[in-house]
Amino acid sequence: MDHDLVVRQKMTERYLLGELDDREKDEFEEHFFDCPECALDVRAASAFVEQSKTVLAEKPEKADVPVHTPPQAGWLAWLRPAFAVPVFALLLMVIGYQNLVTYPQLKEAVNRPQVLPWRSINIGTRGANTPVIAVPRGGSFLLFVNIPPDSHYSGYIADLYNPEGTLEWSLTIPATAAQDQYPVQVPGANRPAGNYTLAVRGVAPAGGSTEIGRASFELQVQK
């Protein structure tokens, strides 16, 4: 999914509001796993929504002097100053906090250099030991994927399966004649510990794909 298309169609807002159909949701999730900017938008917007729910759920303090307000029916009652002014004031405080504190912290975290946990895995190798990689909860890591070179393929597709055998994501890798090792950054997520499998398919120039091989690794989640 193209990033410009995501911005034009406001996919991030529609994703958080649950307005995407299943196909659009899957395509958007696959996109923001590989797009730091969209991942930042999703995290920041999610934090804002949760903070808003917390603020709006708090009960307002009762005034010492009762104020008589004529009864009003329906949703128009929310437009009364007694309700609208405090709510909008709280929302402005939340927005200000997000802009001044949360967004800068998230952007700094995305742009900060860091050393990621990594392991090298060999596709199609039988009998090799299963590499172990330890990551903090929700953290990302690197896989250096060694693919046997084959001039018959114009590219590759890597599919990551979780311990339950469910496809987590797919990644298209362009083939390079001078390269047989491809660094793949696995985006951070709340993954369970266990054995994961990376299956690699070769893509023919005329179309169609054939599985070349697969490799497993054990993910350990640090507390």
Could you give the maximum distance between any two Cα atoms of the chain, in Å? 83
79 found inside a domain: yes
Q: Residue 81 falls within a domain, yes or no?
A: yes
Res 28 pLDDT > 70 = yes
Q: Could you read off the pLDDT of 70-104 as tens digits, one per residue?
A: 555 555 555 555 555 555 556 655 565 555 555 55
Please give the Cα distance from 214 to 198 (Å, whole number). 5
Burial 96-118 (b: 16+ CB within 10 A, else e): eebeeebbeebeeeeeeeeeebb
- CATH number of the domain enclosing 209: 2.60.40.10
Cβ atoms 43, 108 nearer than 8 A: no
| 8 A C-beta contact, residue 60 and residue 84 | no
The answer to the question of residue 208 being in a domain is: yes
Residues 49 and 132 in one domain: no
Judgement on whether residues 163 and 198 belong to the same structural domain of the protein: yes
Q: What is the pTM of this model?
A: 0.53
Note the pLDDT tens digit of each residue in 163-212.
999 999 999 998 876 678 899 999 888 899 999 999 999 999 888 899 99
Nearest CA to 56 among 27, 87, 26, 83? 87
Is 66 within a domain? no
For residues 146 and 80, membership in a common domain is answered with: no
Which pLDDT belongs to residue 9?
77
- Residues contacting residue 48 through CB under 8 Å, at least 6 positions apart: 94, 95, 98, 102
Helix (H) or strand (E) holding 56: helix 36-57
